[in-house]
Structure 1
């Protein structure tokens, strides 16, 4: 492995400028990736909130079903008892 040593200060400055450009490009790519991840996280949060609200709506609409079943059962028992008592 050979390394070349620049003999002039201008060459060192040129290499530092190239290195700076490479680092800036890398940071820009990482920044873009992070921005995309933040956007996807925000979308996921919105979808989760939407699903939570829809689930809450379904749960609220479901509460009368057990009550209706109990009333129907009670009416059935009362009708059966009434029929037995009339015989």
Structure 2
């Protein structure tokens, strides 16, 4: 009789432990999914920033050429 009682207690302890582990694993999976979502959003933001950045060197080159043209025009006018 006492063996059966101890086995029942052990079974209850194991079930409680497995339930806790299952809950922790579910939480880890949820956090992993959220992290994946955050990484995807950050990648999209970085790509948007990269696309928005490309005209800046072109604008700088155009301004430099315009400045050179103005300097040459002023030098030729004198």
If the TM-score is normalised by the length of the shorter chain, which range does it land in?
Answer: over 0.9
Q: In 1, Cα distance between the equivalents of 2:43 and 2:70? A: 42
> Is 1:86 aligned to residue 77 of structure 2?
yes
Q: How many residues in Structure 1 have an aligned counterpart in Structure 2? A: 78
Matched, 1:64 2:31: no
Of structures 1 and 2, the one scoring higher in RCO (CA 8 A, sep 6+) is 1
Q: Deviation string for 1:8-66 (max 9, x for gaps)?
A: xx210110111011011001101100100110110011011001101101110110011
Is 1:37 matched up with 2:43?
Answer: no
Name the TM-score, length of structure 2 as normaliser: 0.96
Counterpart of 2:66 in structure 1 is 75
Structure 1 residues not aligned, in runs of 5+:
1-9
- Greater Rg by CA: 1
Name stretches of at least 5 consecutive residues in structure 2 with no aligned partner. none
Q: 2:39 & 2:60 partners in 1: Cα distance?
A: 32
